[in-house]
Amino acid sequence: MKQILLIKNGEIALKGLNRTTFESILIKNIRRRLKPLGDFKIERAQSTIYVEPLSDGFDMEEAVNRIKKIFGIAAFHRAWAVEKDYAAIEAAAQECFSDILEDASSFKVEAKRADKRFPMDSPAICRELGGALLARYPHLRVDVHQPEVTVTVEVRERAAYLHAGSITGAGGMPVGGSGKVLLLLSGGIDSPVAGYMMAKRGLEVGGIHFAAPPYTSDRALQKVETLGEKMSEYCGRIPFFCVPFTKLQEAIRDHCPEEYFTIIMRRMMMRIASQIAARDRFGALVTGESVGQVASQTLQALCCTDAVCDLPVFRPVIGMDKSEIVSIARRIDTYETSILPYEDCCTVFTPRHPKTRPQLAAVEAAEAAFDFAPLIQRAVEDTAWKLLVSE
Ligand code: ATP
Ligand code: MG
């Protein structure tokens, strides 16, 4: 018997007139993620998307893993496709759900008859199949309000589909069509989570990383790229910018007071990210900052960083504890990569006593000691670009 996937979209259903646009984006995303697994066909009807494998080698387990990571899906089912004949439906239900029904104490049958030519109506299907399953599994009780197992029969154009039990989807909105944001991606725990959260709301995410060779190594950069690839399972392909940041950091070290190193460095990052964002039409910047986490993330420090940005800066983890961020990082499988102990440019030239409550005027005065503009320009021009994607 053949299995197919029945996908129920989530919040998209609320989108009124835009619904078909969002659905088309979701289908495109599903196609892209499942393509490496073999041939399949996608159809949609009444806010359900049907994915039917066509090639023999199609790896259903892997398809399920991938679908779980696509935003815009509330829940989905692995369903059995059965001939549209009541006897066949009953036999299939007895066979396919024996494990589930043996372990359950209550159940109900739900039927949806989209093909009105099918001779039994929905209540009749429920009655017949419910009775047959009760006879076969006498320990079961029918509970129409809170059943442990719901056996669903959908009679459609080409076949009847049977499923019992649904798989929770990633929720959110399908990525694409809502604009794109540029994430400052370090090798740490917080920024991949921040990117994941923005993608969940349907935004495309690009990554920008500041590298300071030889103070930071190739391995450190590789780690960031690995993080981007892992994120792409949720976010889709990630355009990735790598900024050569060494000269700027050295200039800050040579010309600015030590207590302002970090805050000035962060302002330089934001200036460069803003220019690249404006050039490539990103609508906002995103960081993994959380209030009070470190000296550069106090309220005053965040204000000093924002002061150099024209675009909005989104900080989706701003109010989260580290432990909350870590639990998301574990769930999306970026945590183990993030904790690899490679250096980041933020840990180069760190001041012994950073200003925790920097005043904007003082920071601007400290910066004025040197003309950073040519170095900023140079860093933007020399920024490398590539696409990060997990196949
Ligand atoms: P993360 O916040 O990702 O766990 P972290 O905690 O080591 O890394 P912080 O010093 O807290 O980094 O930096 C705050 C934010 O600044 C990061 O979340 C990230 O958005 C940005 N950032 C820091 N370092 C870099 C870098 N080298 N390249 C790009 N963005 C960076
Ligand atoms: Mg952090």
The DSSP string of 272-328 is HHHHHHHHTT--EEE----TTSSGGGSHHHHHHHHTT-SS-EE-TTTT--HHHHHHH
Angle between helices 246-255 and 261-279 (to 10 degrees): 140
Report which ligand 1 atom has the smallest distance to the Cα of 346.
24
**Average pLDDT in the 356-375 region?**
96
Task: Specify the DSSP element, H or E, that contains 209.
Answer: strand 204-211
- 222-235 as b/e: b if 16+ CB within 10 A: ebbbbbbbbbbbbb
- 32-67 as b/e: b if 16+ CB within 10 A: ebbeebeebeeeeeeebbbbbbeeeebeeeebeebb
Beginning with the edge strand found earlier in the chain, give each strand of the sheet holding 384-388 in spatial order: 313-314, 284-286, 180-184, 204-211, 238-244, 384-388
Kindly give the distance from the C-alpha atom of residue 266 to the centroid of ligand 1, in angstroms, as a whole number.
9
- Which among 289, 273, 294 is positioned nearest to 190, based on CA atoms? 289
Whose Cα sits closest to atom 12 in ligand 1? 188
Q: How far apart are CA 92 and CA 74, in angstroms?
A: 26
pLDDT at 320 over 70: yes
Instruction: Give me the helices (H) in 167-287, please.
Output: 190-200, 218-235, 246-255, 261-279
- Which among 116, 115, 22, 117 is positioned nearest to 71, based on CA atoms? 22
- pLDDT band of 20, cuts 50, 70, 90: confident
The best mutation among 190, 308, 356 to test binding of ligand 1, ranked by most ligand atoms within 8 Å of the C-beta, falls on 190
Q: Rounded to a whole number, what is the distance in angstroms from the first to the last CA of the chain? A: 29
User: Any residues with CB less than 8 A from the CB of 166 and at least 6 apart, and which?
Assistant: 8, 75, 76, 77
- Predicted local confidence at residue 13, as pLDDT: 62
Kindly give the distance from the C-alpha atom of residue 190 to the centroid of ligand 2, in angstroms, as a whole number.
5
Which one is predicted more confidently, 296 or 383?
A: 383
Kindly give the distance from the C-alpha atom of residue 191 to the centroid of ligand 2, in angstroms, as a whole number.
7
Kindly give the distance from the C-alpha atom of residue 184 to the centroid of ligand 1, in angstroms, as a whole number.
7
Whose Cα sits closest to atom 20 in ligand 1? 287
- Predicted local confidence at residue 315, as pLDDT: 98
Tell me the three state secondary structure of residue 367: helix
Domains of the chain: 2-170 (3.30.2130.30), 180-388 (3.40.50.620)
Q: Which ligand is nearest to the CA of 185?
A: 1
- Predicted local confidence at residue 12, as pLDDT: 67
In one letter, which amino acid is 94?
A: Q
137, 141, 146, 150: CA torsion to nearest 10: 30
- pLDDT band of 170, cuts 50, 70, 90: very high
Q: How far apart are CA 298 and CA 354, in angstroms?
A: 11
Report which ligand 1 atom has the smallest distance to the Cα of 189.
4
Whose Cα sits closest to atom 2 in ligand 1? 190
The alpha carbon dihedral of 310, 316, 67, 5 has a sign of negative
Which one is predicted more confidently, 177 or 182?
A: 182
Residue with tokens 């039927």: 111
- Predicted local confidence at residue 11, as pLDDT: 65
Whose Cα sits closest to atom 24 in ligand 1? 186
| Cis amide leading into 214 (omega within 30) | yes
Which one is predicted more confidently, 121 or 55?
A: 121
Q: How far apart are CA 108 and CA 35, in angstroms?
A: 36
Whose Cα sits closest to atom 22 in ligand 1? 186
Model pLDDT for residues 34-49, shown as the tens digit of each residue: 999 999 999 988 778 9
Whose Cα sits closest to atom 9 in ligand 1? 289
Whose Cα sits closest to atom 17 in ligand 1? 288
pLDDT at 129 over 70: yes
SS3 content of the chain, % helix, strand, coil (to 5): 45, 25, 35
Instruction: Give me the helices (H) in the chain, please.
Output: 19-34, 60-67, 86-96, 98-103, 122-136, 190-200, 218-235, 246-255, 261-279, 299-306, 322-331, 335-338, 360-367, 373-381
Kindly give the distance from the C-alpha atom of residue 350 to the centroid of ligand 2, in angstroms, as a whole number.
15
pLDDT at 10 over 80: no
Report which ligand 1 atom has the smallest distance to the Cα of 193.
3
Pocket of ligand 1 (CB under 6 A): 184-186, 188-191, 209-210, 287-289, 293-294, 344-346
Q: By CB neighbour count within 10 A (0-12 exposed, 13-18 middle, 19+ buried), where does 275 fall? A: middle
Model pLDDT for residues 230-279, shown as the tens digit of each residue: 999 999 999 999 999 999 999 999 999 999 999 999 999 999 999 999 99
- Predicted local confidence at residue 180, as pLDDT: 98
Whose Cα sits closest to atom 18 in ligand 1? 288
Question: Checking DSSP bridges between strand 40-45 and strand 48-53, what pairing results, if any?
Answer: antiparallel
Phi then psi for residue 131, to 5 deg, are -65, -40
Kindly give the distance from the C-alpha atom of residue 72 to the centroid of ligand 1, in angstroms, as a whole number.
28
pLDDT at 154 over 90: yes
Q: How far apart are CA 364 and CA 75, in angstroms?
A: 51
Model pLDDT for residues 184-199, shown as the tens digit of each residue: 999 999 999 999 999 9
Please report, rounded to a whole number, the percentage of residues in the chain having pLDDT higher than 90: 86
pLDDT at 94 over 90: yes
- Which among 159, 25, 187 is positioned nearest to 88, based on CA atoms? 159
pLDDT at 219 over 90: yes
8 A C-beta contact, residue 38 and residue 130: no
Mean pLDDT of the chain: 94
